[in-house]
Amino acid sequence: MNSRFLNIIFLILLFTVMSDFSLNKEKTHVITNSYFPVNNSIELVYNSSFGECITKYFQDGEFTISSSEADDFKYREALIIKEDGVYVIETYQFLKIFLFINKEATSTYEKPLLRFPLPLLPGMGWEWEGAEHSDGDTCKVKVTGTVIGKEFVKTDAGRFEAIRIESLVEGSSDLKNRVTEWFAEGIGLIKVQAIIEGGGIMGFARDILGYGIIEFELKEIRNQ
C-alpha cells in the first residue's frame, strides 16, 4: 500500500501531533495574522469525522508546530509563517484502520509548500508546484487555491464571520483532494471539509472506512 499523502487539510493546518520536534511550551500569545493567531495557551476542540479532535499550536524556533489528535487519528505539520504567507515544511499523519492495523506517513518538500498567501483578500488566488518526498518515494504535487470571500458560519462554538478558502491538491500518484476551509479573525480555523478523490493514505481510508468526505468543525476553545 502506497502511504504517500498530501495535507488534507491540508487540512488541515490544523492538524498535528508532535514527534520529532523539540519544544519549549511557554504560555505566550503570538499574533502573526488576524486569521492565523498562534496562541499556545489554548487548545481548539473540533467535532470531526474521526471523533473529537484537539489541536494545539507551539513555537519551536522559527517553526510553528500544529498538532492535532483524535482517538484513531494524528496529524502534525511544521510551518513557517512569513509576512507574505504560511508555508509547510513537514507533515506527519497517522491513521488507525483496525485494531492492529495502522497507516502512517511523513512528508517533506523540495521547497516550502505555500499553504496560503498573506494577507487573505477576497478574490485572490495562488498556485504552488513542487516535489513531495514521503517515506522514500517522490511525487509531483500541485496546489491551486482561491479566497472565495466572507460568510457567516455556525458551529457548536458559536456563530462566526469567516473567510472561505478553497484549494485543489493534485499529485502524480493519483492524488486529488478538494479542501474548503473557513477562518475567523482572532481565532483561526473554524471549519474544514475535504473531499478525497485520489489515492494515498486518505484514499485508502476512503475506500476501506468510507471517508469520502472528511469534516472538522470547531466545538470549543479551551484554556490549557
Question: Per-domain residue ranges for the chain?
Answer: 29-223
Dist. CA 190–CA 216, nearest whole Å: 8
* Longest pairwise C-alpha distance within the chain: 46
Give the 3-state secondary structure of residue 17: coil
Residues facing residue 24 across a β-bridge: none
Identity of the residue numbered 38: V
Dist. CA 34–CA 76, nearest whole Å: 22
Dist. CA 135–CA 138, nearest whole Å: 8
- Rounded to a whole number of angstroms, the distance between the first and last alpha carbons of the chain is 38
C-alpha grid cell, residue 178: 478538494
Dist. CA 224–CA 221, nearest whole Å: 10
**pLDDT value of residue 20:** 31
In Å, what is the CA distance from 33 to each residue of 38, 104, 188?
9, 31, 9
Where residue 7 falls among pLDDT bands split at 50, 70, 90? Answer: very low
**pLDDT value of residue 136:** 85
Predicted structure pTM score: 0.78
**pLDDT, average across residues 56-77:** 88
Q: Which residue has the higher pLDDT, 199 or 45?
A: 45
CATH of span 29-223 = 2.40.360
With the C-alpha atoms ordered 67, 81, 203, 183, is the resulting torsion angle positive or negative?
A: positive
Residues facing residue 13 across a β-bridge: none
